[in-house]
């Protein structure tokens, strides 16, 4: 069988990598960006962006567009290529790449794992799929750490997960808080993945997943949420600060992630303008999770 196409771009600068990934996202079924070690004597951080288009898309016009996107974000497109990969069982390999992980009281594992869950742990079954959130990424881990700490001190009544992806945070909140959770995502494909995970974790009827852009769901607008998750990216979080404040109940808490440490100011400035204040932060491998009140 013919294997998938892959575009590989080497980028100088984290913001430039995110800009290139955003430009490739509409053209590909999946996009990822990750930091790579630089060569000796290099000061700038280098990133690799992988994209998997359904058909060949890379030409001189697209390459120029991506180079301009990187330059506009203060970085540089170093090189880019498109290749046809040999056919492999990518799902099986992906699952092997995500062993079980313990995060606070949570134990996150895939359906392929047949081991024993540690005593007293809160089990969450999540498969690596087309939606973000397996617990492995520092932003997801930061959110789970923050939730674990908050749940020890306070009982939340109405949690909301914006940009739910795989549904991992909504599932974690429902299990640790014993409350119904509303989850939404702009990507209807992710909502279908989240619904599958909700059923696998025995939470049908406890976690509701809806397809909606941001806070533009009637279910979201009509409810006062005392706990809101937003594990997305810095710019969308900043743009949705006013919507978050409107959806939050008095005295509510927001757990925001998907941003690098140096992007904190952008997100905090937007939310402080809406009356929210930073309570604490969790930083894991350079990724920040902000707890706002």
Q: Please check the confidence at residue 218 and state whether its pLDDT lies above 90.
A: no
Class of domain 2-88: alpha beta
pLDDT digits (tens, 9 = 90+) for 32-42: 888 886 554 55
Token output for 211 = 């397809």
Is 131-292 in the same CATH topology as 2-88?
Answer: no
Residues 6+ away with beta carbon under 8 Å from 2: 84, 87
Give the single-character DSSP code of 125.
E
CATH annotation of 131-292: 3.40.50.150
Write out the E strands in 151-245. Answer: 159-162, 181-185, 207-211, 225-231
User: 67 near 58, Cβ under 8 Å?
Assistant: no
pLDDT digits (tens, 9 = 90+) for 115-127: 888 999 999 999 8
Total count of residues recorded for the chain? 293
**What are the extents of the domains in the chain?**
2-88, 131-292
Give the model's pLDDT for residue 162: 96
Lowest mean pLDDT among 39-43, 73-77, 181-185, 232-236: 39-43
Q: What is the pTM of this model?
A: 0.72
Give the model's pLDDT for residue 219: 76
| Torsion on CA atoms 259, 262, 267, 272, rounded to nearest 10 | 140
- Cβ atoms within 10 Å of 192's Cβ, excluding its own: 15
Top mean-pLDDT range of 51-55, 98-102, 172-176, 232-236: 172-176
pLDDT digits (tens, 9 = 90+) for 56-99: 999 999 999 999 999 999 999 999 999 998 766 655 665 666 78
Query: Looking at the DSSP assignment, which residues form a beta bridge with residue 162?
Result: 184, 230
């Amino acid at each position: 069988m013919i294997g998938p196409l892959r575009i590989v771009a080497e980028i100088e600068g984290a913001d430039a990598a995110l800009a290139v990934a955003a430009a490739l996202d509409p053209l590909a079924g999946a996009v990822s960006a990750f930091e790579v070690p630089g060569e000796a004597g290099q000061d700038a951080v280098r990133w690799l962006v992988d994209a998997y288009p359904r058909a060949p898309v890379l030409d001189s016009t697209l390459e120029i567009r991506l180079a301009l996107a990187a330059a506009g974000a203060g970085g540089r497109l170093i090189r880019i290529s498109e290749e046809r990969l040999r056919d492999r069982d990518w799902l099986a390999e992906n699952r092997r790449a995500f062993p079980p992980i313990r995060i606070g009281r949570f134990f996150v594992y895939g359906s392929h794992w047949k081991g024993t869950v540690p005593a007293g742990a809160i089990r969450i079954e999540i498969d690596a799929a087309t939606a973000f959130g397996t617990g492995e990424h520092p932003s997801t881990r930061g959110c789970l750490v923050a939730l674990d700490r908050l749940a020890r001190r306070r009982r939340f009544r109405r949690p909301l997960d914006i940009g739910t992806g795989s549904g991992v945070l909504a599932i974690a909140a429902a299990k640790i808080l014993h409350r119904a959770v509303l989850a939404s995502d702009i990507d209807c494909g992710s909502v279908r993945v989240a619904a599958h995970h909700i059923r696998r974790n025995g939470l049908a009827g406890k976690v509701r997943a809806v397809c909606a852009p941001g806070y533009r769901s009637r279910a979201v607008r009509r409810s006062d949420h005392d706990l809101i998750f937003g594990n997305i990216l810095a710019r969308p979080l900043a743009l949705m600060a006013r919507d978050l404040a409107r959806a939050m109940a008095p005295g509510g808490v927001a757990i925001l992630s998907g941003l690098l440490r140096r992007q904190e100011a952008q997100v905090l400035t937007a939310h402080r303008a809406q009356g929210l204040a930073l309570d604490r932060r969790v930083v894991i491998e350079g990724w920040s999770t902000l707890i706002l009140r």
